[in-house]
Amino acid sequence: MIVSDLRTVEDDTHTRIEATVIWEIADRPKKKVYIETENAFAADIATHPHAFLVGCFIPAMHLGEQRLVIEGDICPVLLEGLRTAMALLSHWSGTSLKPLSIEAGTLAKARHSKNSRRAALFMSGGIDSLAALKINRERYPETHPGYIKDCLLVHGFDIGGVVERGMKYHVFERAKQAMAQIAADTQVALIPVYTNIRHLCDDRDLWLTRFFGAVLAAVAHAFDHRINLAYIGSSYDLPNLAPCGSHPLLDPEYSSHDLKIRHRDLEVSRIEKIRSIADWEVGLNNMRACLANVKDRLNCGKCEKCVRTMLGLEAVGVLKKMTSFEEEHVTPDLLDAFSITIRHREHFYQELLEPLQLCGRLDLVAKIEEKLDRSHLK
């Protein structure tokens, strides 16, 4: 893979950094990849080879490229980290993913000498990111460098990430409006970001189990004029770690000397995250857990992720108070539409059994146990 022609493109409303990707082995056409933001943040985004290197190396590995050649100088800290990341990804894949050679110049000194930049959090509106913001607010004084001042909302993940489903900019606008309420309540700057890096390889399993954390890190590197610390909320807690696109052994390896990537809240279980935001009215009423992107609703209330989230909210007694879900209660039949054990999800349901029992929802406890037992028998 050759990544070349790094450049900045501006129009009346948006500023974009982009590069051309040329495949050397994979039978794919060359492609322009980009990271873009609104012109209000034009001064904060820069054409940085780190962003495209981190964003492109996993699709290159997956599609059998032997090297990644990129214009520009790369921090040795990041190069070391990517060697570790490639070794881990190769191990997870049973060596079907082969480490690449990376051909680039070497950055000889830090790009930024001042320590006046900010901490940012990737904000989707789901439980993990909402809890990360709430916990940060409880633990950090406003004067601390780790206090979150920016939230990055990314188009090109669940919204606009799958080519055949369309870009769905109207869905992103709805999400942006909801996240703006959260940003205002917590006094952070909400930075909308648009990228098509996921489109380099539209393989769902690769995205979920290997790739998405690297794209978050790529976006962070594009904004390293503004931020020097980027938080990614944990997908799993420590007792339940599994190979995942965002993982505590992967995400920090995407750091450079100038920009630290931190995978946070590993010690907090999903139900504890829900409890941490149970008294946050603005967060609850603007929660966006759903990946279905249905018309006129933040959350469909039917998909596995919605139902799993609703179960936790029901267990702590807040679902009926929320406006982001139209459902006031979860009924057992909602769990009939999907498996609850795919992609290492069974522990999310297992930890709900006790709190659901304590709040008297024995019907839901019985349904979850039935589905877990049925899966075990298979």
Average pLDDT for consecutive 10-residue bins of the chain (378 residues)?
98 98 98 98 97 98 98 97 98 96 93 82 98 98 97 96 91 96 98 98 94 98 97 97 97 97 98 98 97 89 97 97 95 96 94 97 97 71
Predicted confidence (pLDDT) per residue in 277-301, tens digit: 999 999 999 999 998 888 889 999 9
Split into its structural domains, the chain has a count of 3
Q: Are 91 and 258 in contact (CB under 8 A)?
A: no
pLDDT of residue 376: 58
State the pairing for strand pair 189-195/101-106: unpaired
pLDDT of residue 377: 47
| The predicted structure's pLDDT at residue 378 | 45
Boundaries of domain holding 27:
2-106
Mean pLDDT across the chain? 96
Strand order in the sheet with 118-122: 101-106, 67-74, 2-10, 14-22, 31-38, 189-195, 148-155, 118-122, 227-233, 260-264
In a shared domain, residues 101 and 123: no
Classify residue 89: in a domain, yes or no.
yes
pLDDT score at 202: 87
**CATH number of the domain within which 234 lies:** 3.40.50.620
| 208 vs 220: CA distance, rounded Å | 19
DSSP letter at 38 equals E
Smallest Cα–Cα separation from 119: which of 237, 19, 229?
229
The answer to whether residue 278 sits within a structural domain is no
Who's near 291: CB < 8 A, 6+ residues apart? 158, 303, 305
Domain boundary residue, one of 80, 106, 132: 106
Domain boundary among 71, 106, 141: 106
Q: Tell me: the pLDDT tens digits for 304-336? A: 999 999 999 999 999 999 999 999 999 999 999
Q: Specify whether 317 is located in the same domain as 190.
A: no
Q: Is 89 found in the same domain as 126?
A: no
Query: Do 159 and 292 touch, CB atoms closer than 8 A?
Result: no
* Whether residues 48 and 79 fall in one domain: yes
Question: Is the domain of 86 the same as that of 130?
Answer: no
At residue 109, the pLDDT reads 85
User: Which residue among 76, 106, 136 closes a domain?
Assistant: 106
Is residue 179, in this structure, part of any structural domain at all?
yes
